[in-house]
Amino acid sequence: MNPDKQEWPARLLLSGSDYFQLLLDNHHRRHGLQGNIGRFAVEVKGRLDVRQLERIINDDPMFYWLHSLRLKKLLPFRLPQWIRVQSADPIPINRFEASQKDENILTQLFQRDINPYHDPPCRLDLINFEQDRTILLFSWSHILLDAYGAEILVRHMGNALNDQPIQLFASKDTQRSFIEQLKQSQKTRDFIFFENKPILISCLGKRDSRQINSYHALQFSKTETEQIIANCKHAGARFGRSPFLLAACMHSFNDLLKRKGIINTAIWVPIPQNNRKKGGFGPVVGNQLSYLFYRLFPQHLETMQKTVDVIQQQMIDQMREGIPASFSIMMDLLLRLPLWLYDKIVKSPTKGALASFFFSDTGKTLEDFNDFCGLPVSNAAHYPPNSSHPGFTIIFMDFQHKLQGMIAYTEATANEEDIAYFESSLRKNLCG
Amino acid sequence: MTAHISPSAIAENICFFIRNHLVIGSVEVTPATPLARLGLDSFSLIEIILFVERQYQLQLSDEALTQENICSSETLANYIHQHLL
């Protein structure tokens, strides 16, 4: 079915946050084997009816419109944008039949790229296992959607939003003067690159190693999750669990650096902030993210309590200074810049590095995700994009009242033994 | 300063901020609603603290920002009223 040409935009301008993801897409391609691709897997008990799913997505003009978007080749000083291409082809769902032992089929699917200039920005793979188990894997270009938007889209597809409406697009931002934008951008630039000099970034991975991504899931029981919440309080986490989870990751990451003989001078982690209003489902399209930046030195890692304190203080200070908002303004200002120049501006003060590792906590958005297309959901997890430089990403999420994590890494960054060590250290920091 | 303001007025003011900036329109926010139940993340909780600081021209110390004090709009308003205004 074709979308109504009158209703669906023929082009969609990228926001500053989307363009930043395009920058990351280039970074991922330069240092790895694929672009900035997010993945969300939903596992259900039973055999998901592929025809039913095909009907849902092909009868919905929204899915058809998303499927028809391609990124337009960038022209100097023109705003980057998605354009709608005409196609009468139905949206495909790639189907696989697998035996119980054949879990590595997911690993193979994780290696598939999405080229935003040539491919549809989203892809659906459906794996039917023997014994009535199905996994739906939704992959998307991060330039178009962030993890929250993708989650809403998938749940909408599976009629799993309790008939709540979704909001597709963000409302228009307030326009600011060019001078105001410059001022805000200058503030962010000074904060990120010049305060607390020197910025010394410790990385596990080798650059340009072009290794494939591997994933390792961390599961916590309900009892462990409750213990983690109790430990949050003991460690002095006053603003929810995220600072505690980040502190635990920093300690375990530092332990891993020591184990590998890397002398750590500072850990530098950008954290995405979800700017959506809570309680609703949207906006779906576009990255609604801003960033905070944490810089921790070895003396901040003496105890968990101290680390949590420092993270919370840095969080308050940055929000008081309006750094996340200024960073968003800076990203909007850089929209017209050619990517090569943007890349140089972002990376030159840090000698090409973007972070020590990437961290994200999507919170409790999956707490009530119980049904998908009428079948009980037994698991749902995000598989974050990961570049081989720095090559280490960890994301936390709650699923049905249980905390779970996903570590993305490359062989150049860590081997299986390192990941087992990291997990053991992390469990000790979180549950101990 | 606003020393005459009642705790319930402060709580209502906080609820007004939450309704307008942090949650969608259909979410019910009352002074007694636990903030955790609204699905607010760490950043949103800090937004509330910064709103209170701006609105009442005060700075909340680390000691003030306990989990008990930032449990709901009401608990935060009571703390502000008792200790700071």
Q: What is the mean pLDDT of residues A55-73?
A: 93
pLDDT tens digit sequence for A134-180: 999 999 999 999 999 999 999 999 988 888 899 999 987 667 787 88
Please identify which residue in the block is written with the tokens 């009868």. Answer: A59
Q: A178-431 maps to which CATH number? A: 3.30.559.30
Nearest to B24 among A273, A280, A319 (CB): A280
- The pLDDT assigned to A194 comes to 62
Contact B46 A239 (CB under 8 A): yes
Fold of A3-14+31-157: Chloramphenicol Acetyltransferase (3.30.559)
Nearest to B70 among A238, A241, A280 (CB): A238
CA–CA separation, A299 vs A217, rounded Å?
30
The CA angle A47-A52-A58, to the nearest 5 degrees, is 140
What does the block give as tokens for A322? 């309006």
pLDDT tens digit sequence for A94-117: 999 988 667 789 989 999 999 999
pLDDT tens digit sequence for A10-56: 999 999 999 999 999 998 888 888 999 999 999 999 999 899 999 99
Check CB contact of B51 with chain A, cutoff 8 Å.
no
Q: Tell me what percent of the residues of chain A surpass a pLDDT of 70.
A: 92
Question: What does residue A81 show for φ and ψ, rounded to 5 degrees?
Answer: -155, 155
Question: What does residue A214 show for φ and ψ, rounded to 5 degrees?
Answer: -120, 155
What does the block give as tokens for A333? 């200002």
Nearest to A278 among B23, B49, B50 (CB): B23
- The pLDDT assigned to A199 comes to 53
Q: What is the mean pLDDT of residues A181-189?
A: 80
Q: Give the model's confidence band at A390: pLDDT under 50 very low, under 70 low, under 90 confident, else very high.
A: confident
Q: Tell me what percent of the residues of chain A surpass a pLDDT of 90.
A: 64
Residue A197 has pLDDT above 60, yes or no: no
CA A299 distance to own-chain centroid: 29
Q: What is the mean pLDDT of residues A361-370?
A: 93
What does the block give as tokens for B73? 């709009």
Same CATH fold, A178-431 and A3-14+31-157? yes
Q: What is the mean pLDDT of residues A213-229?
A: 95
Transcribe B7-18 into DSSP letters: HHHHHHHHHHHI
CB A294, CB A314: distance < 8 Å: yes
Q: What is the mean pLDDT of residues A409-426?
A: 93
Contact B43 A273 (CB under 8 A): yes
- The pLDDT assigned to A2 comes to 45
Structural domain that includes position B34: 2-84
Q: Give the model's confidence band at A355: pLDDT under 50 very low, under 70 low, under 90 confident, else very high.
A: confident
Transcribe chain B into DSSP letters: --TT--HHHHHHHHHHHIIIIIB-TTS---TTSBGGGGT--HHHHHHHHHHHHHHHT----TTT--TTTTSBHHHHHHHHHHHT-
CA–CA separation, A318 vs A320, rounded Å?
5
Check CB contact of A171 with chain B, cutoff 8 Å.
no
Check CB contact of B63 with chain A, cutoff 8 Å.
no
| Mean pLDDT for back-to-back runs of 10 residues, chain B (85 residues) | 79 97 94 93 93 91 85 94 80
Nearest to A319 among B24, B38, B46 (CB): B46
Specify the pairing of strand A267-274 against strand A289-296.
Answer: antiparallel
Beta-carbon contacts of residue A371 (< 8 Å; ≥ 6 apart): A158, A159, A160, A377
Instruction: Please give the mean pLDDT across all residues of chain A.
Output: 89
CB A275, CB A289: distance < 8 Å: yes
CA–CA separation, A230 vs B68, rounded Å?
14
The shortest C-alpha distance from B3 to chain A (Å) reads 24
CA–CA separation, A301 vs A296, rounded Å?
8
- The pLDDT assigned to A369 comes to 95
pLDDT tens digit sequence for A268-302: 899 999 999 999 999 999 999 999 999 999 999 99
Chain A residue numbers with beta carbons less than 8 Å from the beta carbon of B22 are: 277-278
Contact B39 A243 (CB under 8 A): no
- The pLDDT assigned to B1 comes to 47
Whole-prediction pTM: 0.92
Q: Domain of B45: which CATH number?
A: 1.10.1200.10
Q: How many domains does chain B have?
A: 1
Check CB contact of B64 with chain A, cutoff 8 Å.
no
Beta-carbon contacts of residue A259 (< 8 Å; ≥ 6 apart): A418, A421
Q: What is the DSSP letter of A4?
A: P
Nearest to A319 among B41, B50, B65 (CB): B50
Single-letter amino acid, residue A82: W
Distances from the Cα of A45 to the Cαs of A131, A158, A220, A376, A398, in angstroms?
A: 9, 14, 20, 6, 19
- The pLDDT assigned to B46 comes to 93
* For chain A, domain boundaries: 3-14+31-157, 178-431
Out of A87-101, A105-119, A234-248, A344-358, pick the least confident: A344-358
Chain B residue numbers with beta carbons less than 8 Å from the beta carbon of A316 are: 46, 49
- The pLDDT assigned to A184 comes to 81
Chain B residue numbers with beta carbons less than 8 Å from the beta carbon of A327 are: none
Specify the pairing of strand A122-129 against strand A93-98.
Answer: parallel
- The pLDDT assigned to A1 comes to 42
The shortest C-alpha distance from A280 to chain B (Å) reads 6
Single-letter amino acid, residue B68: E
Nearest C-alpha neighbor of A77 from the set A360, A344, A341, A277: A341
CB A366, CB A359: distance < 8 Å: no
